[in-house]
Amino acid sequence: MRPGDLVIETGSLSKRYGRTLALDRLDLKVRPGEVVGYLGPNGAGKTTTLRLLMGYLRPTAGSARVLGLDAWRDSVAVHRRTGYLSGDSRPWPRMTARAAARHLSRLRGITDERGTVRLAERLDADLDRPIGALSKGNRQKVGLILALIGEPDLLLLDEPTGGLDPLVQQEFQQILRERVDAGAAVLLSSHVLSEVARIADRVAMIRDGRLLMLETMAGLREKARHTVEVRFADPPPPGAFAAVPGLTDVRIDGCVLHATMQGVVDPLIKTLGRFHVLDLNSHEADLEETFLALYGQRETRP
């Protein structure tokens, strides 16, 4: 792809099932060489989005372009260059993983099996048992291997680490980062923020089929709230911190200030400089707490 090209571009993409609006006017852009975490509760529209991008569903309205192609009309060409993992991976239960990998490799014009074998070794996957006889975690490993075959330009992954043990999760994240460093793009659907936080460059948050927020991870961290506790030599006067921007839930117990801080802390530090401070403690909320706080603040658009 040429520099500046978009791997994914949707315009007012919508999908309706009868009276249910599963996806409502989604505008999303994904560039080469980035991981976009696609977050939201179950039923938010994440899986519907991935299926629309793969051309498995026809949009009710709007457009979806993948790798410069129309996701619906050019779905065969999209599949050649896209690795897809469904939320409940159950590929060809009577086939072995090795046979399934050979089948997909042939469709993509790949004759060398060494890439499949290396992936199986890194993910500790069994290639020679029928897929239907595997546990959920081992089926998930096979699904990941099949999605990664041929080093596709785009990976669409729906809850990719479900059922994997922590060591395999770590190895998968390393593989993903290697692919992204080589120029691939990833749209990773999940409802677990801690999983996305480790590997995503940007985060899209969706609820009830509507995109609420699209942020860089750095931007999301900047919005993180800090719990602040300050101990003074003498009690500060009432209202001393009322004008500090971003400071909320202020409570003064004698010589101790308890508060929540969001955003730039410089105004608070300058205000504290007027007093004799004995001790200062600040605890930053983790990204999951930040996500939940922001989720609760955002109203869906009409």
Does residue 93 surpass a pLDDT of 70?
A: yes
pLDDT given for residue 299 in this prediction? 47
CA 271 to chain centre: 38
CA trace torsion 248, 252, 257, 258 (10° rounding): -50
Whether residue 31 is predicted with pLDDT greater than 80 in this model: the reply is yes
| 276, amino acid identity | H
Helix or strand (DSSP H, E) at 137: helix 136-148
Confidence band, pLDDT 50/70/90 cuts, at residue 195: confident
Asked if the model's pLDDT at residue 288 lies above 90, the reply is no
pLDDT at 296: 57
Handedness of CA 224, 227, 230, 235 (dihedral sign): positive
**Helix 136-148 vs helix 166-181: crossing angle, to nearest 10:** 10
Edge-to-edge, what's the strand order for the sheet holding 69-70?
20-30, 8-17, 61-66, 69-70
Distance CA 49, CA 38 (A): 10
Sort strands 35-39 and 61-66 into parallel, antiparallel or unpaired: unpaired
The CATH class of the 8-220 domain is alpha beta
Over residues 104-151, the pLDDT tens digits come to 998 888 888 899 999 999 999 999 999 989 998 999 999 999 999 999
Terminal-residue alpha carbon distance, the chain: 37
Tokens of 250: 């202020």
Decide if 105 contacts 133 (C-beta within 8 A).
Answer: no
**pTM, to two decimals:** 0.79
Residue (of 190, 124, 110, 121) closest to 152 by Cα position:
110
HSE (CB half, 13 Å, CA atoms) of 292? 6
- Given a contact cutoff of 8 angstroms between Cβ atoms, the answer to whether 113 and 106 are in contact is no
Half-sphere exposure (CA, 13 Å, Cβ side) for 38? 27
The yes-or-no verdict on residue 284 having pLDDT over 70 is no
Choose between 89 and 298: higher pLDDT: 89
Mean pLDDT calculated for residue range 159-168: 89
Which two structure tokens, joined as six digits, stand for 26? Answer: 């989604």
Beta-strand runs (E) in 74-220? 82-85, 154-158, 185-190, 202-207, 210-216
Q: Give the domain ranges of the chain.
A: 8-220, 225-284
Q: Encode pLDDT of 204-225 as tens digits.
A: 989 899 998 898 887 777 776 7
Q: Average pLDDT of 252-263?
A: 90
- Is residue 80 within 8 A of residue 245, CB to CB? The reply is no
What is the chain's length?
Answer: 302
CATH number of the structural domain 225-284? 3.30.70
What is the pLDDT at residue 287?
61
Whether the domain at 8-220 and the domain at 225-284 fall into the same CATH topology: no
